[in-house]
A and B are shown apart, each in its own frame.
Chain A
Amino acid sequence: MTSTNEKQLSKGMGIRARRGIAYVVLVLLSFLCLFWFYVLFINATRSNGELTKGFTPLPGGYLLTNWTNLVHGTLPVWQGLFNSFVVAASCAILCTYFSSMTAYAIHVYDFKLKKFMFTFILMIMMIPTQVTALGFLQLVGKMGLEDNFIPLIVPSIAAPVTFFYMKQYMESALPLSLVEAARIDGSGEFRTFNSIVLPLMKPAIAVQAIFTFVSNWNNYFTPALILHDDKMKTLPILIAQLRSADWLKFDMGQVYVMIAFSIFPVIVVYLLLSKFIVQGVAMGSVKG
């Protein structure tokens, strides 16, 4: 029965042929996505001398040497990793906590400005940070917060996209009766939010924490304008610095190790949690 259906369905081309084409295209695209990282890995294991001679598909034995050269070189890589981690992790925590709180305010309570606030947050969702960067820089200068992580971390409290995701999640996962039951049991509003609502939001918080972490880990534009001291620089700034250095004099093995070093943590996290992440993207995308 299915075979006759399939025959009808595919007058032009057999289902097998179409499946074959689909697999070929998928394999090609996967190759296109992974090839660069394969070359990166191979080249990170080869010495500068070997690299200038041309590409070989097999790894060399210089990974550790390149790594020690990089660590003892002029770039503060460990410090950069530490800084990136502090900024990204703090953003992830603040952003998810306060976005849940904002979503909770709009979802649970009825107040005069509720509709206005919701519409307003949706409207500002698309405004890119770059267009206000000028005023932001001046403000940071006036507050004396240059070379400080505060202007990179605190603004993540007001994150419209995360708010929207949390709001949607609450609509499906947080019945208002639960909040009322907590009230009858004498729980204060703040305590209800912290000890009843937040645990319920765990799956959404996890997904958004990952996204916020990754986007701040990768962020280059704002940190590059605010952080000038070597001790405060994050990894993307160090990468850009590597680019503007006279790279012909550079040990290319070290360059590859540095690139691998800055993307490696994200790849590991992704491979461990990819199922949730891909689901999370799909979930956030279903808008209405």
Chain B
Amino acid sequence: MKAAKRGKVVSYNRWGYIFLIPFVLVYLVFQFIPLVSTVYNSFYENYRSGLTQIGPNFVGLGNYRALLANSDIWIYLRNTLIMWAMGFVPQIIVSLLLGAWFTNPSLRLKGQQFFKTVIYLPNLIMASAFAMLFFTLFSDGGPINSILVQLGILDAPFRFLSNTWGTRSLVAMMNFLMWFGNTTILLMAGMMGIDTSLFEAAEVDGATSTQVFFRITLPLLRPILIYVMITSLIGGLQMFDVPQVLTNGTGEPMRSSMTLIMYLNKHLFNKNYGLGGALSVFLFIITGVLSLIVFRFSSEKK
């Protein structure tokens, strides 16, 4: 009887493995094997020159040397980081402000649900369609230029997409619009987790709301702020849809809005597997290190 019981307990827990089979199987086939073969490819010379296939020949770290010695990757890394920062800085400021307002009981803002709904909306819009929309709206003869000229703000249409900072600003603005609602909601969750007695004590001591924000809210939010920043950076390094569609994959003007993933996409499209592999591994290492930091943070909090 006892033995039978124990046998049953063991057999229950065996189900843990059984229920994990789909996840593990799919992960191994569609993510782990691709990861291994990506790394494998990065050590081989393998590309197409016209119609002739070169390689695959083992070249050791040759692809990495070629990739890192070329200035392209650094230009694209810089572009990616610039456009990410241009979107992230206003995003975090606005989100902090909105989060503080929404969670401040003495402000008693009305229509919160409406505002939250509206600011989250752009996050769900198809990024490629949004970029296509911006491309048409901000084109030289497009409606935005038409409005600005009609209002007398501009004398002649401004060529947003022929200007380095014009294009970068558009990408940054789209990223800002798509992500500030999400960040606001994340930060609000953090702000609502702060012990309200701290605010009450500050109020009794006669602190102004600005002091409360900078001395209490901000320091206590630090872990979640760092979490938001690093996850946003990981997302920023994957920036692709918006600049790809906005510039038709060229990263124009003068490759100033070309991102790392657009570069990778180009290699993949041209079946340039050696360099593409090295670039993938490069990105994998960067995001891997960043995710480790995030992982540390979220497990420390527990």
Contacts and interface: CB of A to CB of B under 8 A. Distances in A.
A225 B240 CA distance: 13
Interface stretch (B69-77, B81-89, B214-222, B279-287): B279-287
Contacts of B280: 130-134
Contact of A158 (B26, B290, B298): B26
Nearest to A53: B146
Given A55-B143, A221-B261, A244-B249, A132 B116 contact: no
Contacts, number: 311
A220 B237 CA distance: 16
A268 to B, nearest CB: 11
Interface in B7-43: 12-20, 22-24, 26-27, 29-31, 33-38, 40-41
Is chain B's binding surface mostly helix, strand, loop or mixed? helix
A114 to B, nearest CB: 7
Is chain A's binding surface mostly helix, strand, loop or mixed? helix
A136 to B, nearest CB: 4
Interface in B43-68: none
Contact of A127 (B18, B189, B276, B287): B287
A126 B124 CA distance: 20
Contact of B208 (A12, A127, A255, A288): A12
B177 A130 contact: no
B264 A98 contact: no
- A12, A136, A225: residue with the most chain B Cβ atoms closer than 10 Å: A136
A105 B35 CA distance: 25
A126 B234 contact: yes
Interface string A86-120: 00000000000011011011101111011001000
Interface of B: 12-20, 22-24, 26-27, 29-31, 33-38, 40-41, 94, 97-98, 101, 106-109, 113, 115-122, 124-137, 141, 143-144, 146-147, 149-150, 177, 180-182, 185-186, 188-189, 193, 203, 206-210, 227, 231, 234, 237-238, 240-241, 244-245, 248-249, 261, 264-265, 268-269, 273, 276-277, 280-281, 283-284, 287-288, 290-292, 294-295, 298-299, 301-302
Given A127-B284, A256-B136, 14 more contacts: A18-B209, A29-B180, A34-B121, A36-B130, A52-B141, A54-B143, A54-B150, A108-B16, A128-B237, A131-B281, A131-B283, A158-B27, A189-B12, A288-B299
Interface of A: 2, 5-6, 8-12, 15, 18-19, 22-23, 25-26, 29-30, 32-34, 36, 39-40, 43, 52, 54-55, 98-99, 101-102, 104-106, 108-111, 113-114, 117, 121-139, 151, 154-155, 157-158, 163, 183, 189, 193, 214, 217-218, 220-221, 225, 235-236, 239-240, 242-244, 252, 255-256, 259, 262-263, 266-267, 270-271, 274-275, 277-278, 281-282, 285-288
